[in-house]
């Protein structure tokens, strides 16, 4: 049966790199980059963190895309900045599939260094720190958190693929 991998964390933590590695490890997989889906909006674009955003539309599109790939037998890797409430929605929507969930975090120095290596138009600068602190405040269960400050993207992907602690348990556990 197809599996769903949900990778989250603040901007600049390595979600895209790790997600590509996880997707590449499966013989039949799809990678859904949340930023790419949101950026399909052109006319009237509003950043997802600003008032008047299109997150309702984004989530409808994301959930249907994930569902179609899973039903057609693809392992799906989805990455985006995900709140605990949105995780609950994903858990409920795909309760009939194994879901592996990882919150990637790093220290402040590492996230700023990684952000500086991105193309200028994608750099988030101090917003990376704001998002990092927001993720720390979400109080995700420790089992799902992976500090990637001192490990490679390959080691991160291997952990998510192999360690049972990343299997999303039912609500309340």
In a domain, 116, yes or no: yes
CATH number at residue 79: 3.40.50.300
pLDDT at 173: 43
Q: In what order do the strands lie in the sheet with 98-105?
A: 29-33, 75-79, 3-8, 98-105, 145-147
What's the total number of domains in the chain? Answer: 1
Convert the pLDDT of each residue in 135-163 to its tens digit: 888 889 999 999 999 999 999 999 999 99
In a domain, 120, yes or no: yes
Strand locations in the chain (E): 3-8, 29-33, 75-79, 98-105, 145-147
Contact by Cβ (8 Å): 25, 156: no
pLDDT at 28: 97
In a domain, 13, yes or no: yes
The 10 Å Cβ neighbour count of residue 133 is: 11
Model confidence at 58: pLDDT above 60: yes
| Domain around 48 | 3-166
In a domain, 173, yes or no: no
Convert the pLDDT of each residue in 91-104 to its tens digit: 999 999 999 999 99
User: What is the number of H-type helices and E-type strands within the chain?
Assistant: 7, 5
In a domain, 19, yes or no: yes
* Residue among 1, 4, 6, 13 nearest 113 (CA): 13
* 150 alpha-carbon distance from chain centroid: 19
Residue 10 φ/ψ region, left for φ over 0, alpha for ψ in the -120 to 50 degree band, beta for the rest:
beta
In a domain, 172, yes or no: no
Measured CA to CA, the distance from residue 122 to residue 133 in angstroms comes to 20
Q: Which percentage of the chain shows pLDDT scores above 90?
A: 71
Model confidence at 63: pLDDT above 90: yes
In a domain, 81, yes or no: yes
Convert the pLDDT of each residue in 7-39 to its tens digit: 999 888 889 999 999 999 999 999 999 999 999
Q: What is the three-class DSSP state of 107?
A: coil
Model confidence at 172: pLDDT above 60: no
Convert the pLDDT of each residue in 110-135 to its tens digit: 989 888 888 888 888 888 898 899 88
DSSP state of 167: B
Tell me the angle at which helices 108-116 and 126-137 cross, rounded to the nearest 10 degrees. Answer: 140
What integer is the mean pLDDT of 46-57? 91
Measured CA to CA, the distance from residue 145 to residue 136 in angstroms comes to 10
Q: How far is CA 125 from CA 32, 68, 116, 130, in A?
A: 24, 35, 8, 10
In a domain, 171, yes or no: no
């Amino acid at each position: 049966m197809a599996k769903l991998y949900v990778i989250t964390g603040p901007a600049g933590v390595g979600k895209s790199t790790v997600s590509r590695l996880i997707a590449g490890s499966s013989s039949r997989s799809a990678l859904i980059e949340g930023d790419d889906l949101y950026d399909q909006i052109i006319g009237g674009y509003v950043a997802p963190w600003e008032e008047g955003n299109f997150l309702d539309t984004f989530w409808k599109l994301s959930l249907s895309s994930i569902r179609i790939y899973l039903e057609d037998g693809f392992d799906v890797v989805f990455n985006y900045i995900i709140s605990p409430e949105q995780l609950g929605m994903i858990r409920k929507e795909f309760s009939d599939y194994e879901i592996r969930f990882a919150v990637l975090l790093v220290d402040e120095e590492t996230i700023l260094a990684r952000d500086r290596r991105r193309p200028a138009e994608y750099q988030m600068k101090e917003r990376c720190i704001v998002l990092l602190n927001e993720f720390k405040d979400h109080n995700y269960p420790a089992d799902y958190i992976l500090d990637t400050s001192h490990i490679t993207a390959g080691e991160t992907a291997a952990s998510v693929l192999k360690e049972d602690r990343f299997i999303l348990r039912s609500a309340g556990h």
